[in-house]
Structure 1
Amino acid sequence: MAATGEEAAEMDCISRVSLAHPTVLSLGGSSEPRGEPGETASEGLEVVTAAPKKPINSSTCEDYHLLENMNKLTSLKYMEMKDISINISRNLQDLNHKYASLQPYLDQINQIEEQVSSLEQAAYKLDTYSKKLEAKFKKLEKR
């Protein structure tokens, strides 16, 4: 079962969504003492990456929507796998029924094979016996 229409758009959207980058703050690289008169606490902090443009709540909401889309996609994949397994099960049942219907013929083939084998053995015994009789007949003719 392939995803079409709206589901395909959702899957495409999921593949393009990137996680929000957290803001990374670091203290100033120097180990010099701070606290000069007039210096504020924020002067010693340096922003390494840009802060998110949206508030934290909208980021959480985006994460929720991402998880929701991922769950929908996973659900679709499981439904596809369920359909595939149902088809495999049906095909296996069909094959089992066909095999069961062929079983009498397979038994007949096995029976014929056993009979052919025993006929071959009888033919070899008959051949060796006829060769012995021929040898005796030639021996009696010579006398």
Structure 2
Amino acid sequence: MDSISRVPMAHPTALNLAGGSDTQAEAAAAPENATESLIPAPKKPSTNSDGGVETAEEATEPAEPDINELCTDMFDKMAVFLQGELTGTCEDYRLLENMNKLTSLKYMEMKDISINISRNLQDLNNKYASLQPYLDQINQIEEQVSSLEQAAYKLDTYSKKLEAKFKKLEKR
């Protein structure tokens, strides 16, 4: 009866997988550890004081299919979630790209408009410069007309005075 061998303790990962009461973070690490628990434990030859009695190796059971299914389901859902996040980010970048393109087009239109305004202003300045001699002539003519008008008023007053003297002389 003393020949019953000792069985080594089960791998802690296998216990965690079989327990099913771990948090999500531990469940996320479970698939890595699940493959470890499926690998049979190496045989450990033991030397017993009973003389060459062999010991039995540990029998490891594969993880329950429910845990494997849950892990697979969790990874599938995480993949869908991450895909959705990446898709949303890509759509945001596409929107920004389209907005940048539209803004660039608007700035190009504004540039064309400002170039046209600049050309038109330059044409107006050239036309004004070409009309400047005529405007100067108009100003000179206006000054001359003004001086002629003053002379006409003076002549009118002088003729009225002269008429008054003539009438005065005629009465005598």
User: How high is the TM-score relative to the length of structure 1?
Assistant: 0.62
Q: Deviations over 1:41-97 (max 9, x none)?
A: 9xxxxxxxxxx8x61011111111111111011000100000000000000000000
Counterpart residue identity of residue 124, structure 1: Y
Structure 2 match to 1:46: none
Equivalenced residues, count = 95
Higher strand share: 1
Match of 1:116 among 130, 140, 145: 145
Structure 2 match to 1:76: 105
Task: Say which one has the larger Rg.
Answer: 2
Distance 1:141 1:74 in 2: 92
Moved segments of 4+, more than 4 Å: none
Structure 1 stretches of 5 or more lacking a match?
A: 1-37, 42-51
Q: Deviations over 1:22-42 (max 9, x none)?
A: xxxxxxxxxxxxxxxx9xx9x
Higher helix share: 2
**Once the 2 structures are TM-superposed, how far is the Cα of residue 138 of structure 1 from its aligned partner?**
1.1
Structure 2 stretches of 5 or more lacking a match?
A: 1-20, 25-80
Distance 1:55 1:133 in 2: 108
User: How high is the TM-score relative to the length of structure 2?
Assistant: 0.52
CA-based RMSD:
2.0
Larger relative contact order (Cα-Cα within 8 Å, sequence gap ≥ 6): 1
**Once the 2 structures are TM-superposed, how far is the Cα of residue 115 of structure 1 from its aligned partner?**
0.4
Distance 2:91 2:167 in 1: 106
